[in-house]
Amino acid sequence: MSRALDRIGTWIGWAFFADLANGLALTFGYMFSKSVTMQYPDKEKWLPYSRYRGHHFLKRDEEGEIKCVACELCARICPCYCIEVIPYEDEKGNRRPAKFEIDMARCLFCGLCEDACPADAIALGQQYEFSSFSSRDLVIGRDDLLGKPGKAMTGGGVVAARLNTEQDVLVETSEPQGYNWWRNIRRT
């Protein structure tokens, strides 16, 4: 009985274009939903998670000395050979890099240098806005690398595009689980 009723209902729906009406109602509903666009360069930008692999930075130890021991393991493991390290011996007799250059134009941000480093001296930070008109400007030296921003403290949030994220920025997120990309997307 119910099957017959179902069939009749299907036929009535077919005759009055119920499926088309369904589709129209869906798109109409979506028209009044919020957009998921992040207006990146204009208004908002994304603050990456702490695991994000952005621009490299070199770390200092407690005395403010560069941690790097110029072992060249990062240069060796780099799949695109974009790190160049030349060691020297400083006043205290420690091995330190005289030259530490990363060619960001060739780097693929795999993070292997970070993994290979025995002194925990190099890591990939949170900075991602370093595009340039000249690939020559993308070769970054030792002193610049020491000044680059580190890993994000929190992250996973949308902040105002003008906010300077060079230093560690704490973002107030209403969602404790991090930014929910799906919040405006209906899932049925």
Partner 1 sequence: MELVVALGLIVFKVALLIAILLLLPLPLTWLERKIAGRMQQRMGPMRVGWHGLLQPVADGVKLLTKEDHIPAEADRFLFKLAPILALAPPFVVFVAVPFGESVSVLGTEITLYVSNMNVALLFVFAVIGIEVYGVIFGGWAANSKYAVLGSLRTCAQMISYEIPMGFAVIGVVMLAQSMSLLDIVRAQANVWNIVYQPVGFFVFFVAGLAESQRIPFDLAEAEGDLGAGFHTEYSGIRFAFFMVSEYAIMLLTSVLAVILFFGGWNGVLVPLPPLVWFVLKVAFFVYVFIWFRFTFPRYRYDQLMAIGWKVLLPLSMANIIITGVAFL
Please state the residue numbers annotated as binding site for [4Fe-4S] cluster. 68, 71, 74, 78, 107, 110, 113, 117
Determine if 30 is a binding residue for partner 1 (CB under 8 A). Answer: yes
Residue 11 in contact with partner 1, rule: CB under 8 A? no
What whole-number distance in Å separates Cα of residue 99 and Cα of residue 22? 66
Number of helices (H), then strands (E), in the chain: 5, 7
Query: Contact with partner 1 (CB under 8 A): which of 28, 64, 92, 167?
Result: 28
Shortest Å, Cβ 90 to partner 1: 52
Helix ranges restricted to H, 16-131: 18-31, 73-77, 112-116
116/95 Cα distance (integer angstroms): 17
Least CB distance from residue 162 to partner 1, whole Å?
Answer: 17
If one asks whether residue 34 binds partner 1 (CB under 8 A), the answer comes out as: yes
Span of 20-28, 46-54, 138-146, 162-170 interacting with partner 1 by CB under 8 A: 20-28
> Nearest to residue 96, comparing CAs of 132, 56, 69, 136?
69
Interacting residue with partner 1 among 2, 15, 35, 64 (CB under 8 A): 35
From candidates 8, 24, 98, 153, binder to partner 1 by CB under 8 A:
24
Type and span of the H or E element at 88: strand 83-89
Joined together, the tokens standing for residue 62 give 């407690």
Q: Can you tell me which of 37, 131, 134, 174 binds partner 1, judged by CB under 8 A? A: 37
Kindly state whether residue 33 participates in binding partner 1, applying the rule CB under 8 A: yes
Residue 166 CA: distances (Å) to CA of 11, 42, 47, 152, 171: 63, 18, 11, 10, 14
Out of 8, 20, 80, 163, the only residue in the binding site for partner 1 (CB under 8 A) is 20
In whole angstroms, give the CA distance from residue 100 to residue 112. Answer: 16
Which whole-number Å values give the CA distances from 105 to 19, 58, 138, 149, in the listed order?
A: 52, 18, 6, 19
The single residue among 1, 32, 118, 167 that binds partner 1, judged by CB under 8 A, is 32
Task: With beta carbons less than 8 A apart as the criterion, state whether 105 and 138 touch.
Answer: yes
User: Which lies closer to partner 1 via its Cβ, residue 32 or residue 176?
Assistant: 32
Positions in the binding site for partner 1 (CB under 8 A):
20, 23-24, 26-28, 30-37, 39, 42, 184-185
